[in-house]
Amino acid sequence: MITLTVAQLAMIADAAEAAYPDECCGLLVGHGNRHIHVTRLVPALNLLRGEAHDRFELDPRTRFETERTLRGTTERVVGHWHSHPDGTATPSPTDLKQAWEPELVWLIIGVTANAANTPQALQILAHQLDRERNRSRNITLRLTKNSTCKPQGFPT
């Protein structure tokens, strides 16, 4: 199970809508193993933005800087998020190929344009991916009202 606040989920959905029709991405920071609590979000640049609407590559500098910041704390990178423009919140074959860390949670946001041609996040699901077996497992996503998120500016 992974727990996020309503505000954190809204921030991720806003980032996905702002990046549309490209994918957005970022890191989930928190603590726990069987029951993961997200304590903050770290937005990241999608290095493939503008090249391919259905691909993302999280800027590795963001990951390195985040890991450095977390040294000596109880927090760790517990997962990441990315959006699927005009798609569902289920892992794609490309996602499964990129699943190098099976312990991390993949939060995927399906975004599409509504009748007014405005991007709208429609579905958000959490997964753990198994690259070796080429499959994914859904993770329960629990929302709370308490805000423990330390917001940062999202790249657009």
Residue 88: inside a domain, yes or no?
Answer: yes
Kindly state whether residue 55 falls inside one of the protein's structural domains.
Answer: yes
**How far apart are the C-alpha atoms of 120 and 114, rounded to whole Å?**
6
Structural domain count of the chain: 1
Quick: pLDDT tens for 107-150: 999 999 999 999 999 999 999 876 566 678 889 999 998 654 44
pLDDT of residue 131: 58
Q: What are phi and psi of 22, to 5 degrees?
A: -90, 170
SS3 (DSSP) at 87: coil
Q: Per-residue pLDDT averaged across 4-18, rounded? A: 95
Determine the Cα–Cα distance for residues 37 and 24; give it in Å rounded to an integer: 22
Flag whether pLDDT at 155 surpasses 50. Answer: no
Assigned domain for 151 exists: no
Cβ burial of 59 (10 Å; 0-12, 13-18, 19+) is: middle
Is residue 152 one of the residues assigned to a domain?
A: no
Is 79 inside any structural domain? yes
Q: Is a pLDDT exceeding 80 seen at residue 50?
A: no
Q: Assess if residue 150 is contained within a domain.
A: no
**Mean model confidence pLDDT for the chain:** 87
Domain range for 37: 2-144
Q: Tell which residue, 88, 110, 151, has the closest CA to residue 16.
A: 110
Residue 80 within a domain: yes
Q: What is the CATH classification number for the domain harbouring 21?
A: 3.40.140.10
